[in-house]
Amino acid sequence: MERWPWSSGGAWLLVAARALLQLLRADLRLGRPLLAALALLAVLDWLCQRLLPPLAALAVLTAAGWIALSRLARPPRLPVATRAVLITGCDSGFGKETAKQLDTMGFTVLATVLDLDSPGALELRACCSPRLKLLQMDLTKPADISRVLEFTKTHTSSSGLWGLVNNAGYNAVVADVELSPVDTFRSCMEVNFFGALELTKGLLPLLRQSRGRIVTVGSPAGDMPYQCLGAYGTSKAAVVLLMDTFSCELLPWGIKVSVVQPGCFKTESVLNVGRWEMSKQLLLANLPRDLLQAYGKDYIEHLHRQFVHSLRQALPDLSPVVDAITDALLAAQPQRRYYPGRGVSLMYFIHYYLPEGLRRRFLQLFFISPCLPRALQPDQPGPTPGHSPGEAQ
């Protein structure tokens, strides 16, 4: 039976008018979520035209479109005004791009770098406004942290410090935990945990005064057992738990705490294949003889190749992470967790809801495929896998 076309046309006209208004106000972004919502509305339109009277079809389609656009709309944001933000790790990657975007928006940006003459520091100095201040800081050196704290207190006395972005991160080795020197765990913890802890505690009086924001860049490796990222993942897990504790403790002070858990993006550290090769050679040169015999050089070479191959899937556009950090700083009600990056939400769904065997296979499929150490290979002498030396045969 033929239906009246005006119900469909009227609903689409109302939805299109609101979408256009949101786009003009920058409350809505063209992208896959919007296209998916429009596709679902088209399916709903088709069903309504066949199952409902014209007035009911108009009401249902309009309501569905209104709800979809409301869900897709960006949450209300606070004005930038004269807000000051300190960002760590601005030599490259997320830190550098976030500093550039916040400076463009009108923030007073205090950007810390390891080297004031690094390419990233020179780029920031060349392309950003005079509001941006470059500060040298090594998070493993208390004297550097103290100097940055004093500078921040002095230079934000009038505007106040609105936000801290703990972005600086460090990973020293890609290897099984047994193969990784304990010093690599300490190195990762010094930067990713203790450095962030000392800096955050030092800035809390300023952040309490402004009722500001703390944003920390974590990693899915801190939530999931990524093979060969034990040192890095452990330090990220520690800092995320620390931020969750801060989130509870600082709530009465009005400070909001967010953690950004990005997928794999093509930052400078990811693209530096020579650095990972040097790390592998250093590991092989210093590995105890018994461990090298048990695991074998081929095993370590395989893990390194798989790791480097997985980096080829990294996303070149860093804007999802930069946008997440910006939203955490300015949204009236920021999220406690952000998951920018292709497939990250699916990864977390699999991790939390599927059986352990499927979780493990998923990580192996998209990260490092399994490989037996030399001592466990069938043609090698030694205990049979699954049996301890003293176990009855």
> In sequence order, what are the residues at sequence separation of 6 or more whose Cβ sits closer than 8 angstroms to the Cβ of residue 304?
174, 276, 277, 280
> In terms of Cα–Cα distance, which of 243, 236, 203, 205 is closest to 336?
243
Pairing type for strands 108-113 and 213-217 reads unpaired
Helix (H, G, I), strand (E, B) or coil at 302: helix
CA distance 91 to 98: 11
Q: b/e map of 122-133 (b: 16 or more CB within 10 Å)?
A: ebbeeebeeebb
Tell me the catalytic residues: 232
DSSP code of 380? Answer: S
E strands within the chain? 84-87, 108-113, 133-136, 161-166, 213-217, 256-260, 337-338
CA distance 342 to 295: 34
CA distance 257 to 336: 6
DSSP code of 190? Answer: I
Given a contact cutoff of 8 angstroms between Cβ atoms, the answer to whether 247 and 204 are in contact is no
CA distance 385 to 373: 11
Distances (CA, A) of 132 to 75, 129, 157, 258: 27, 6, 16, 23
